[in-house]
Structure 1
Amino acid sequence: MLVSGSVYGVPEAGPIWRTLPWRAGDWLARSFTEALSLQYLFLPSSWALLRHPWFRAADVVQLYNTHGGYFSHSVLGVASRRKPFVWRLSDMWPLTGHCCYSYECDRWKTGCGSCPLLSDEPALREDRTALLWRAKRSIYADAKVTLVAPSRWIAGLAAQSPLVQHWPLEIIPNGLNLKVFRPIARAAAREVLGLPQEEALILFSSVETKAYRKGGTFVAEAVQRLKGNTRTPFRLLVVGNRAAEWEQAVDVPVTAIDAVKDDHLLATVYSAADVFVHPALADNLPNGVLESLACGTPVVAFDVGGVGEAVRPMETGYLARHNDAQDLAAGLQRLLDDDDLRRRLGRRGRAVAEAEYDMELQTQRFETLYRRVLRDR
Structure 2
Amino acid sequence: MADKQIKEQVKKENVVNNLLTILQVNTSDLHAGGAERVSWQLFEAYRSLGLKSWLAVGKKNSNDPHVLLIPNDAKRNSWARFWRTTGEKITPFIAKTRGAWQLQTLLYGIGEPQRWLNIQRGYEEFNFPGSKHLLDICPDDPHVIHLHNLHGNYFDLRILPELSRQVPLIITLHDTWLLSGHCAYSFDCERWQIGCGLCPNLKSYPAIRRDGTAFNWKRKRDIFHQSRLFIVTPSQWLMNQVEQSILVPAIKNAKVIPNGVDLSVFHPEKKWAMRRELGIQPDVKVLLFVAKSLRSSFKDFQMIYEAIKLVNQIFHQEKLLFIALGEDAPMEQTDQENLRYIPYQKDAFDVARYYQAADIYLHAAYADTFPTTILEALACGTPVIATAVGGIPEQIKSLIALSQYNLRSYPLNDATGILVPPRDVAAMAVAIEMLLTNESIRQQLAENASQDAQTRFSIDKQAAMYLEWYQEVIKIYHFDSTLELSR
Fold match by TM threshold 0.5: yes
Alpha-carbon distance in structure 1 between the residues aligned to 2:474 and 2:123: 34
User: Shift of residue 85 of structure 1?
Assistant: 0.7
Matched letter for residue 236 of structure 1: F
What's 2:167 paired with? 83
Matched letter for residue 454 of structure 2: E
User: Shift of residue 262 of structure 1?
Assistant: 1.3
Percent of aligned positions that are identical: 31
Matched letter for residue 305 of structure 1: G
User: Shift of residue 31 of structure 1?
Assistant: 4.4
Alpha-carbon distance in structure 2 between the residues aligned to 1:21 and 1:105: 38
Alpha-carbon distance in structure 2 between the residues aligned to 1:33 and 1:52: 28
Alpha-carbon distance in structure 2 between the residues aligned to 1:14 and 1:209: 31
Q: Which runs of 5+ in 1 are unaligned?
A: none
- Does residue 183 (structure 1) correspond to residue 283 (structure 2)? The answer is no
How do residues 290-309 of structure 1 correspond to structure 2 at under 5 angstroms?
290-309=375-394
User: Shift of residue 327 of structure 1?
Assistant: 0.9
Once the two structures are overlaid, the 10-residue window that deviates more, 73-82 or 17-26, is 17-26
Which among 152, 161, 166 is matched to residue 236 of structure 2? 152
What's 1:367 paired with? 467
What's 2:321 paired with? 235
User: Shift of residue 254 of structure 1?
Assistant: 1.9
Aligned in 2, Cα 1:249/1:308: closer, same or farther, shift over 3 Å?
A: farther
Alpha-carbon distance in structure 1 between the residues aligned to 2:245 and 2:418: 31
Alpha-carbon distance in structure 1 between the residues aligned to 2:286 and 2:428: 15
Matched letter for residue 323 of structure 2: L
Once the two structures are overlaid, the 10-residue window that deviates more, 254-263 or 265-274, is 254-263
Deviations 1:340-366 (A, max 9, x none): 111111111111111111111111110
What's 1:5 paired with? 59
Aligned in 2, Cα 1:74/1:336: closer, same or farther, shift over 3 Å?
A: same
How do residues 153-302 of structure 1 correspond to structure 2 at under 5 angstroms?
153-164=237-248, 166-167=250-251, 168-230=253-315, 233-242=319-328, 244-246=329-331, 248-249=333-334, 251=336, 253-302=338-387
What's 2:33 paired with? none
Alpha carbons 1:33, 1:42 under 8 Å: kept:
no
User: Shift of residue 194 of structure 1?
Assistant: 1.8
Alpha carbons 2:303, 2:364 under 8 Å: kept:
yes
Give SS of 1:147's match.
Answer: strand
Give SS of 2:161's match.
Answer: helix
User: Shift of residue 152 of structure 1?
Assistant: 0.8
Once the two structures are overlaid, the 10-residue window that deviates more, 223-232 or 84-93, is 223-232
Structure number, greater radius of gyration: 2
Alpha-carbon distance in structure 2 between the residues aligned to 1:280 and 1:369: 31
Alpha carbons 1:302, 1:321 under 8 Å: kept:
yes
Alpha-carbon distance in structure 2 between the residues aligned to 1:37 and 1:192: 49
Alpha-carbon distance in structure 2 between the residues aligned to 1:247 and 1:69: 31
Alpha carbons 1:115, 1:129 under 8 Å: kept:
yes
User: Shift of residue 335 of structure 1?
Assistant: 1.3
Alpha carbons 1:238, 1:246 under 8 Å: kept:
no
Aligned in 2, Cα 1:266/1:274: closer, same or farther, shift over 3 Å?
A: same
Alpha-carbon distance in structure 1 between the residues aligned to 2:385 and 2:63: 31
Alpha carbons 2:75, 2:129 under 8 Å: kept:
no
Give SS of 1:4's match.
Answer: strand
Alpha carbons 2:363, 2:387 under 8 Å: kept:
yes
Matched letter for residue 131 of structure 1: F
Alpha-carbon distance in structure 2 between the residues aligned to 1:249 and 1:111: 45
Q: Which runs of 5+ in 2 are unaligned?
A: 1-54, 85-107, 400-414, 478-487
What's 1:96 paired with? 180
| Aligned Cα root-mean-square deviation (Å) | 2.1
Alpha carbons 1:247, 1:255 under 8 Å: kept:
no
Alpha-carbon distance in structure 1 between the residues aligned to 2:223 and 2:358: 46
User: Shift of residue 253 of structure 1?
Assistant: 1.5
Alpha-carbon distance in structure 1 between the residues aligned to 2:210 and 2:197: 11
Matched letter for residue 185 of structure 2: Y
Give SS of 1:332's match.
Answer: helix
Matched letter for residue 130 of structure 2: S
Give SS of 2:230's match.
Answer: strand
What's 2:5 paired with? none
- Does residue 321 (structure 1) correspond to residue 421 (structure 2)? The answer is yes
Deviations 1:249-287 (A, max 9, x none): 574522222111111121111101111111011001110
Deviations 1:284-339 (A, max 9, x none): 11100000000000111100001011112121111111111111111112112211
Once the two structures are overlaid, the 10-residue window that deviates more, 296-305 or 333-342, is 333-342
Alpha-carbon distance in structure 2 between the residues aligned to 1:277 and 1:203: 6
Alpha-carbon distance in structure 1 between the residues aligned to 2:272 and 2:184: 39
Aligned in 2, Cα 1:248/1:22: closer, same or farther, shift over 3 Å?
A: same
Alpha carbons 2:59, 2:69 under 8 Å: kept:
yes
Alpha carbons 1:317, 1:345 under 8 Å: kept:
yes
How many residues get paired? Answer: 375
4+ runs deviating over 6 angstroms: none
Matched letter for residue 128 of structure 1: G
Matched letter for residue 212 of structure 2: R
Alignment TM-score, normalising by the size of structure 2? 0.73
Alpha-carbon distance in structure 1 between the residues aligned to 2:128 and 2:118: 9
What's 2:449 paired with? 349
Matched letter for residue 181 of structure 1: F
Matched letter for residue 342 of structure 1: R
User: Shift of residue 215 of structure 1?
Assistant: 0.7
Aligned in 2, Cα 1:21/1:370: closer, same or farther, shift over 3 Å?
A: closer
Aligned in 2, Cα 1:176/1:110: closer, same or farther, shift over 3 Å?
A: same
Once the two structures are overlaid, the 10-residue window that deviates more, 22-31 or 341-350, is 22-31
Give SS of 1:245's match.
Answer: coil
What's 1:337 paired with? 437
Matched letter for residue 229 of structure 2: V
